[in-house]
Amino acid sequence: MKKQKKKKIRRFYKQSIWPSIVLFLLFIASCVGMVLTFVASFQGYLMDSKIADIHEDARNLGRMIDMHTDNHAAVFDAVTFVKKYLEEENDICITDENDRVLKCFGASEPDFERLQEIKIFDSYRIIPDLDPKRPHEKRMLLTSFMDIAKLSVDALAESGYETDKWMDEPLFHEYYWVQIPADVQGYHLYYKDSLIILQKNVFFMNLAILAELLMLSIPTILLFVNVLSSIRMQKRMISLLYQDSVTGGKNWCYFLEQSRKILCRLRNTNHTYAVVNLHMIRYQDYCACNGVREGEALLKKISGFLQVNMDRGETFARFARADFGLLLRCADAQQCQKRLKKMLVELTGVKKDKMMSFSAGIYLLRPAANRKSLQRRQIDINQTYHFASAARDSMRGKEGEYMKVFDQQILQEQLWKHKVEEKMEAALLNGEFQLYLQPKYHPVTEKILGAEALVRWISEEDGMIPPNRFIPVFEENGFITRLDDYMISEVAKLQSEWKINGQKQIPVSVNISRVHFVKEDLAEHICHLVDGYGADHALIELELTESAFFGNKKLLQTILKKLKMCGFCLAIDDFGAGYSSLNSLKDLPIDVLKLDMDFFRGEDTLQRGEIVVKETIRLAKALDMKIVAEGIEKKEQVEFLAEQGCDMIQGFYFAKPMPADQFNQIMKRETQHT
């Protein structure tokens, strides 16, 4: 996965939920704050208004005493006079300036010992009354909403839930000694008053708080639902983002992310891990036979099987087509291979009625020797998977092998591939690809009847590079079409030179890679290249391998027919090497059949091999095709082929591929002889 995509996913993950959650928490905090402020201010207001009443009483009393006090000695008389007009409970007490009680009018007196309970309101001192009949705790000013609410509920229960009566009953009835603000020198006057809070005061306060809570609860619920739904939505989006559309399991993004997490966990750094490329062989054919739906159902089954076989701390996902990436934890390479082997065997039976085979490439991540390199953060999972695929790829064409661990040799191959890809463009521009020609001889007259154009890469750094070192790379990356175009042009140029020089002209074959046969206008394209040099179409033979027949057969037929109409000669190269399709001989307008050199290798060449060659030549003759035998190295082989009526022989027995100049010399000599 591209780094940018990974970043986007992480950014998305971080961004979309947290702001909503933080916003929600902030909202809840501000609601709680609002309710608390409301309760505190309501409570404060209630108490302050009651205390203000007491103060008012104290101030009035002060004025009355002042009115009846002519001199200081008359204070006692004035208080005695005023007391007569007060309620019985409103005791008055006279103290000196140090709050030593001088005289009290009434049944009780203030306790100046309880200094810590003295509160100052509006600069007047106020002291809770010490009444032994009531419990001490009740004698304090109420401080919290909870206290008031609790008292109120208790009182409601006591009243037998008669709300009318309950409303006018006092909830809180407390006595306080309040300093009287009278203008009397040398004395302090205190009078006792009660602070009453009725049930209805608290009831309405509770009602207001409830209303506020209700009002706040609506946006809170809405916001909560919103946060919940956005969390759900995000989860769904993440699961969609990480879901493989075919198997329903996890996809490649997930695999990369999860593998990175597993490998980076500190406790996992001491374990060996294997990044595996598990591949179903010939999935394409399976789909062709059973349909794409069946193919996808099979992939689902494979995914289900892998899911069951994964241990904790392991993961897997489908990469593409029938390729799966696995991250396995293993003790060592042997244990990993053993486990995979078992899985591969069991997988062949995942669909009872179908025969399937699987292969796997492994890249081992061993624990590092030092602590610093234990950090596996730097590991590029995509790259390791690529190495595992390269290991699997390296088994291509090797029968019986189905599992391979990435090693130094494969790494060298990878490096080579990289180097080839880096240099190919410049090499083409600098003319490093050179035309070599291998002559084709008549088996009896031993005269040159034709030649095959073979490319050689003459590199300054690596010397002469044979085609099998770079052609497979070019076929993979598509550069082969450019190289083939170049070779066609070189051959066309050579033909026109021979024509201009009045030399003998012989047909020259050029290899056309199967990669070309997706271009609908291939025939027109080749015509255009050849016509650019004015070469004769009939003298250019196009060799295509049997693997070209596995693509779109209809398109291939159309292209070949067009090429034929343009006058080119068509040959099947390496006939008999792969899955020989005799049908192609029937359906395609082929002129030449080139027998694969493997017919002339091995032990039984002289018995069974000879029969096959003999019969193939007979078949080709019957179909009016010319036969070229390739890779002929021995005289007996030439004699045998001559006996069978083979038309041409190409092989080291006569000549190896040579540079075009050298071939020209031979051709000049041949021209002079005739």
Partner interacting with residue 523 (select from Mg ion, ligand C2E, none; CB below 5-8 Å by kind): none
Closer to ligand C2E by CB, 98 or 468: give it. Answer: 468
Kindly tell me the burial class for residue 457, based on how many C-beta atoms sit within 10 Å of its own C-beta (0-12, 13-18, 19 or more).
Answer: buried
511 forms part of the interface with Mg ion (CB under 5 A)? yes
- Shortest distance in whole angstroms from residue 601 CB to ligand C2E: 9
| Residue among 263, 278, 455, 560 that touches ligand C2E (CB under 6 A) | 455
Q: In the complex, what is the shortest distance from the CB of residue 586 to Mg ion, in angstroms, rounded to a whole number?
A: 22
What is the C-alpha separation between 349 and 142, in angstroms, rounded?
Answer: 80
d(CA 197, CA 174): 9
**Per-residue x/- mask for ligand C2E, residues 511 to 530, rule CB under 6 A?**
x-x-----------------
Residue from the set 149, 151, 223, 471 that interacts with ligand C2E by CB under 6 A: 471
CB-based burial label for 598 (10 Å; 0-12, 13-18, 19+):
middle
Residue 128 touches which of Mg ion, ligand C2E, none (Cβ within 5-8 Å per kind): none
Distance in angstroms (rounded) separating the CA atoms of residues 514 and 572: 12
Residue for token pair 């290249």: 529
Q: Do 306 and 318 touch, CB atoms closer than 8 A?
A: no
Which of 657, 658, 660, 667 touches ligand C2E by CB under 6 A?
A: 657
Draw the binding track, 344-373, toward Mg ion (x: CB under 5 A; -: no contact).
------------------------------
CA quadruple 635, 637, 641, 646: dihedral, nearest 10 = -90
Minimum distance between the CB of residue 359 and ligand C2E, rounded to whole angstroms? 25
- Smallest gap from Cβ 515 to ligand C2E, in A, equals 8
- Number of Cα atoms under 13 Å in the Cβ half of residue 45: 9
The pair of structure tokens assigned to 528 is 């255009």
Contact (CB, 8 A) for 543 and 451: no
**C-beta of 247 vs 545, nearer to Mg ion:** 545
**51's tokens:** 């205390």
Of 129, 174, 546, 573, the residue at the interface with ligand C2E (CB under 6 A) is 573
Nearer to ligand C2E, 227 or 655 (CB): 655
Find the shortest distance in angstroms from Cβ 597 to ligand C2E.
6
Place of tokens 């005269």: 447
Q: How many residues touch ligand C2E (CB under 6 A)? A: 22
Q: Which stretch binds ligand C2E (CB under 6 A): 5-13, 246-254, 386-394, 624-632?
A: 624-632
467 binds, among Mg ion, ligand C2E, none (CB under 5 to 8 A by kind): ligand C2E
Name all contacts of 260-269 with Cβ < 8 Å and 24+ positions apart.
260/379, 260/381, 262/313, 262/314, 262/315, 262/327, 263/327, 263/365, 263/376, 263/379, 263/381, 264/375, 264/376, 264/377, 265/313, 268/313, 268/329, 269/367, 269/368, 269/374, 269/375, 269/376
Q: How far is the CB of 502 from ligand C2E (least distance, A)?
A: 27
Q: Is 468 in the site for ligand C2E (CB under 6 A)?
A: yes
298-327: contacts with ligand C2E (CB under 6 A): none
Per-residue binder mask for Mg ion (CB under 5 A), 545-584, x = binder: ----------------------------xx----------
Which positions ≥6 away from 114 have C-beta within 8 Å? Answer: 127, 128, 130
State which of positions 600-639 bind Mg ion (CB under 5 A).
Answer: 630
- Which part of the chain contacts ligand C2E (CB under 6 A), choosing from 61-69, 547-555, 602-610, 631-639? 631-639
d(CA 139, CA 128): 6
**Between residue 414 and residue 443, which ones bind ligand C2E under the rule CB under 6 A?**
438
Q: Does 602 bind ligand C2E (CB under 6 A)?
A: no
Separation between Cα atoms, residue 56 and residue 195, nearest integer Å = 13
Interface with Mg ion (CB under 5 A): 511, 543, 573-574, 630
